Amino acid sequence: MLELKNLTKVIGEKIILRNITLTLREGETLAVIGPNGAGKSTFFKCTVGLLQPSSGEIILDGEAVKKKSAAVKKKIGFLGHESFLYSNMTPLENLRFYGKLFKVRDLEKKSKELLKEVGLYLFRDTPIHSFSRGMLQRLAIAKVLLPEPKILMLDEPHTGLDQEAVALLNRIIKEKQQGGTSILIISHDFEQVHALADRVAILKKGKVVDTIELAQHLDLQEMKAWYEKVVKEA
Ligand code: ADP
Ligand code: MG
Ligand code: MG
């Protein structure tokens, strides 16, 4: 459903992404892992529209995505390192503002439900400038879920979260998986990747060097061994 074809990104003189071709299949969770500096975040930004790829195509449900239309933005929800929240607003105001952009139905009710789900309901009317990183991440999660995207793109979503927030995030990811959402998750956390993904791709020096299906018999140690071997040889 989301096809990336020959995605290339050049910044200055440097080729950051080289001909990445990867498909996020309907309803699957695909993890992208790789060494620091491999280009994972650049790949993420090019895919969600925060950066313009130098060349290549992004095809969503059979149609080439040129400019990110509202319809495309509604289909692809993303959670990156920046959460684009308004710090002078409360959680409820942030969700209202964002929900209106996507003409979310029953916005008020849905916003409150989501704030309950992420454990921020008690703080719904508190300006978020005093929030901890964990609280902001909770709000960012609520925000990304509000338009009910068909595709979720997550760049290192577990980083910096406390245990409780990690559990919450994983519960939400599993709920979305069961509901048929396609998920692309970038992570360096092998345990999370092993627990959540159906398929794993390794990115090294801007190239996809291997992918593997996480069949039930591939345990965490075997997945790590595969990664070490591929990264060494690629
Ligand atoms: P990863 O997320 O896998 O750690 P990044 O996508 O953040 O990798 O970075 C990949 C490479 O691209 C790194 O070498 C980084 O220094 C370089 N890079 C990323 N963004 C820029 C930029 N805006 N200008 C120049 N180089 C960049
Ligand atoms: Mg990095
Ligand atoms: Mg990164």
Q: Contact 102/70 with Cβ under 8 angstroms?
A: yes
- Mutation choice for ligand 1 from 9, 11, 45, CB with most ligand atoms inside 8 A: 11
Looking at this predicted complex, what is its ipTM? 0.95
Domain count of the fold of the chain = 1
Tell me what the mean pLDDT of segment 22-43 comes to.
97
Gap between the Cα atoms of 103 and 137, Å rounded: 23
Task: Tell the residue nearest (CA) to atom 10 of ligand 1.
Answer: 39
Here the CATH number for the domain that contains residue 99 is 3.40.50.300
Would you state the pLDDT for residue 70?
75
Closest ligand 1 atom to residue 35 Cα is 3
Question: Is the minimum distance from the CB of 40 to ligand 1 under 6 angstroms?
Answer: yes
The verdict on residue 184 lying in a domain is yes
The verdict on residue 79 lying in a domain is yes
Gap between the Cα atoms of 189 and 23, Å rounded: 22
Read off the pLDDT of residues 84-108 as tens digits, 9 standing for 90 and up: 899 999 999 999 999 999 999 999 9
Tell me what the mean pLDDT of segment 65-81 comes to.
85
Domain residue limits at 221: 25-52+66-233
Strands (E), 128-220: 151-155, 182-186, 199-204, 207-213
Collapsed DSSP state (helix, strand, coil) of residue 17: strand
The verdict on residue 5 lying in a domain is no
Closest ligand 1 atom to residue 43 Cα is 6
pLDDT of 201 above 80? yes
Tell me what the mean pLDDT of segment 4-14 comes to.
97
pLDDT of 115 above 90? yes
The verdict on residue 45 lying in a domain is yes
Question: Is the minimum distance from the CB of 33 to ligand 1 under 6 angstroms?
Answer: no
Would you state the pLDDT for residue 67?
75
The verdict on residue 70 lying in a domain is yes
Would you state the pLDDT for residue 204?
97
Cβ count within 10 A of residue 120: 23
Closest ligand 1 atom to residue 156 Cα is 2
Residues near ion ligand 3 (Cβ under 5 Å):
40-41
The verdict on residue 9 lying in a domain is no
Would you state the pLDDT for residue 150?
95
Question: Is the minimum distance from the CB of 16 to ligand 1 under 6 angstroms?
Answer: yes
- pLDDT band at residue 215 using 50, 70 and 90 as cut-offs: confident
The verdict on residue 206 lying in a domain is yes
The verdict on residue 151 lying in a domain is yes
In the chain, the percentage of residues whose pLDDT exceeds 70 is: 100
Nearest to 220 by CA among 203, 196, 184, 185: 196
